[in-house]
Structure 1
Amino acid sequence: MTEPDKKPNPLSLFEFWPGWIFYTPVVIYWILLGLRYRDVTVPTAANPRIVTGGLCGESKSSILDMAGPYAAGWIAPYTTFVTGMNDLPRALDAIAARGLTLPVVVKPDIGCNGTGVKLVRSEQDLATALAAFPRATELVIQKLIRWPHEAGVFYIRHPDKTQGEISSLTYKEIPTLVGDGRHTVLELLQRDSRTSKVLHLYAPRLKSRLDTVLPQGEQLDLVFAGNHCKGAIFRNGAADITPELCARMDTIMRDIPDFHFGRVDIKFRSKDSLRRGEDFEIIEINGVGSEATHIWDARTTLLEAYRAQFHHYGEAFRIGAKKKAAGWKPTPLWRGIRLWRRQKRLLASYPLND
């Protein structure tokens, strides 16, 4: 007689370790690779047309702007905006000029980890969101994609290869609470096996509703931004990487000049359509600083996570070295540090994400 299946742990062993603990072996590995290649900045040449190769300080819109006509057809429409005087009328004009309509997504042009991402449903929401950012902040205003699913697709193509590959596919799930007509939002968070362990991720965002009793059956999304450190749940989708999806992604990414390494975040209709390489839209393209996010699946072991990290950063060094040999120059270390410090200051100034 077999033992009944145990309920899987809601969190992995390392999922919410302090960053300095989890990433210390990764940093050591990066330094060792830097010694081997005699330059710790080699990966910044992997995507040489992007600032730092996308390691830090890069503009999201500048990457999307590089897309050729084919790739552009797969990117969710967007416009850019700089906060200042008369924010609301200027933003509405920018939205209309691009052919967009509310609702839209507003996010910092320089940022990471979903920081500052806001869902804007009305003109009042737009005015509130823009006012929450410091003046002279560069933003991206993008169409809200209605398809229900989100994924991160990691793409790698060596410059001496004719085809690229998808090395990781991760599905992003937005956690929800379901009301029972008796318990408050806070009580429901405390009763859930996952959210009770990471209350600090959800409580600040939901502070105005913590004492609200959700009606029976009513659902409440706990986060909008599909980012792990902001509370989204990640699932390894490697089984759904198909030749059709690889071919589609390769065709798209080859239409972005000298892009070789990074994660493409998409919204899509269904898993079946994604397997066919159909019915998805790109919402963001990330470079060397991005991760293969399947490592945050609660079923991933620590050893598997480090193997994935070491493989991907090893690939970044190998590709960067090939681009460097072809004449492209990595970002100087001093400039990279300056851009990283600027990005940290910007992140600290952004409002809480939705």
Structure 2
Amino acid sequence: MSKLPTSPLTPSEKTAPLSSFEFWPGWIFYTPIVIYWVVLGLRYRDFSLPTAANPRIVTGGLCGESKSSILDMAGPTATRWIAPYTTLTTGQNDNSRALEAMSHKGLSLPIVVKPDVGCNGTGVKLARTENELYAALAAFPRTTPLVLQRLIPYQHEAGIFYIRHPDQACGSISSLTYKDIPTLTGNGHNTVLELLKQDPRTQLLLPLYTPRLEHRLNEVLPQGETLDLVFTGNHCKGAVFRNGANDITPALTAQIDAIMKDIPDFHFGRIDVKFESAEALRRGEKFEIIEINGVGSEAIHIWDKRTTLKEAYATQFFHYGETFRIGAKKRAAGWKPCGLWYGVRLWRRQKRLLASYPMND
């Protein structure tokens, strides 16, 4: 297989059309996966068995888990690689409490504000100034737990999928995916909306981009000026994903393994990072962890436009199969899955929370 590109996307790559299934309705794409889950649940006699794969995390990270509670479990080795953060529950005196919490952790603006329970970048806001911070806090319903995290200075972002069976001394990286933020480049003549409609990819995804750019759609970008279309590196929010499997090296694997083994009983999930360069990442250097996701996360290289539908399903079946296999080993060691109906309750609660969050940046 030819080496996949590791540099930022060229203009032609950025405007490439979608794959045949990238934005299928979720119920269509995930129906075969749900069927596979049911088959595995019957075979292992427990539909919630994967939640035991990371038994110290609520539902194993399948749904409803707290982002900060996972990061809080990190030991000294892992903590050094996690971008500093603090937490806040919205309520009275949000502004002063947020500044006090940030000061206590040595944090300063710019800061990333995100819900502590969430997924797919929903509600994530970037605050560069105090007024933007106050506006972000006010946009959330009262009593919403939030994470305030230092903005990582590195430009590039990736998702690294990690798996370690309980009876294995070392884990492995099963997927590495680069996340590119799509941009528009002004020509001094066309509006933002016109530029969106001219781009072969963005013209197909206008409902993703136009709501968050509604105040700039009629703006004419000066010649050469660029505009990031999204802030969060999430595919469903418009980021472009590229398979970086060829950049999985022994050095990177060893570094990720050392970090994840410093989180008690963590065996399966995706680590989202920002990094300086692909060369440094291959060496296992100069990256910081944004967040750590459990059994509800995906090996997101399936959303690379070059991935075939067959390859995507093979990847999904392998990873969900691993959650059952690891869960079975943890169950044999005395850990208990969360239970099907408890998981359903948390999933419904998470859906309600997601619907209450503001639009992400």
Q: TM-score per shorter chain, which class?
A: over 0.9
Q: Is 1:90 matched with 2:69?
A: no
Query: Where has structure 1 moved over 6 Å in runs of 4 or more?
Result: none
Q: How does 1:323-342 map to 2 (within 5 A)?
A: 323-342=330-349
5+ long unaligned stretches in structure 1: 1-5
By how many angstroms is 1:9 displaced?
4.6
Please tell me the residue identity of whatever aligns with 2:331: K
By how many angstroms is 1:7 displaced?
11
By how many angstroms is 1:10 displaced?
1.7
Aligned residue among 297, 304, 307 for 1:300: 307
Say whether the 8 Å CA contact 2:14–2:182 is kept in structure 1: no
Find the aligned partners of 2:168 and 2:174 in 1 and give their Cα distance: 15
1:36 is paired with a residue whose SS is: helix
* CA deviations over 1:171-193 (Å, ceiling 9, x no partner): 00000000000000000000001
Aligned residue among 196, 219, 222 for 2:229: 222
Q: Is 1:54 matched with 2:61?
A: yes
2:307 is paired with a residue whose SS is: coil
* CA deviations over 1:238-268 (Å, ceiling 9, x no partner): 0000000000000000000000000000000
Say whether the 8 Å CA contact 2:112–2:126 is kept in structure 1: yes
Aligned residue among 201, 204, 219 for 2:208: 201
Q: Which residue of 1 aligns with 2:323?
A: 316
Find the aligned partners of 1:244 and 1:270 in 2 and give their Cα distance: 15
Find the aligned partners of 1:123 and 1:71 in 2 and give their Cα distance: 30
Please tell me the residue identity of whatever aligns with 2:138: A
Q: Which residue of 1 aligns with 2:10?
A: none
Q: How does 1:225-264 map to 2 (within 5 A)?
A: 225-264=232-271
Say whether the 8 Å CA contact 2:18–2:305 is kept in structure 1: yes
Q: Does the C-alpha gap of structure 1 residues 136 and 126 become closer, same or farther in structure 2, counting only changes over 3 Å?
A: same
Aligned residue among 32, 51, 59 for 1:25: 32
5+ long unaligned stretches in structure 2: 1-12
Find the aligned partners of 2:161 and 2:238 in 1 and give their Cα distance: 20
1:186 is paired with a residue whose SS is: helix
Q: Is 1:348 matched with 2:355?
A: yes
2:103 is paired with a residue whose SS is: helix
* CA deviations over 1:130-170 (Å, ceiling 9, x no partner): 00000000000000001010000000000000000000000
Q: Which residue of 1 aligns with 2:9?
A: none
By how many angstroms is 1:325 displaced?
0.5
Please tell me the residue identity of whatever aligns with 1:144: L
Q: Is 1:123 matched with 2:134?
A: no
Find the aligned partners of 1:159 and 1:256 in 2 and give their Cα distance: 13
1:256 is paired with a residue whose SS is: coil
Q: Which residue of 2 aligns with 1:211?
A: 218
Say whether the 8 Å CA contact 2:15–2:202 is kept in structure 1: no
Aligned residue among 270, 285, 295 for 1:278: 285
Find the aligned partners of 2:208 and 2:219 in 1 and give their Cα distance: 18
Q: How does 1:139-154 map to 2 (within 5 A)?
A: 139-154=146-161
Q: Which residue of 1 aligns with 2:296?
A: 289
1:248 is paired with a residue whose SS is: helix
Find the aligned partners of 2:247 and 2:340 in 1 and give their Cα distance: 38
* CA deviations over 1:19-41 (Å, ceiling 9, x no partner): 00000000000000001101111
By how many angstroms is 1:350 displaced?
0.1
Find the aligned partners of 2:347 and 2:197 in 1 and give their Cα distance: 36
Q: How does 1:67-216 map to 2 (within 5 A)?
A: 67-216=74-223
2:321 is paired with a residue whose SS is: helix
Say whether the 8 Å CA contact 2:140–2:358 is kept in structure 1: yes
TM-score by length of 1: 0.98
By how many angstroms is 1:8 displaced?
8.9
Find the aligned partners of 1:213 and 1:9 in 2 and give their Cα distance: 23
2:266 is paired with a residue whose SS is: coil
Q: Does the C-alpha gap of structure 1 residues 190 and 71 become closer, same or farther in structure 2, counting only changes over 3 Å?
A: same
2:242 is paired with a residue whose SS is: strand
Please tell me the residue identity of whatever aligns with 2:207: H
* CA deviations over 1:68-95 (Å, ceiling 9, x no partner): 0000000000000010111111101111
Give the number of equivalent residue pairs: 350
Identity of matched residues, %: 74
1:215 is paired with a residue whose SS is: coil
1:340 is paired with a residue whose SS is: helix
Q: Does the C-alpha gap of structure 1 residues 285 and 7 become closer, same or farther in structure 2, counting only changes over 3 Å?
A: closer
Q: Which residue of 2 aligns with 1:3?
A: none
1:119 is paired with a residue whose SS is: strand
Please tell me the residue identity of whatever aligns with 2:295: V
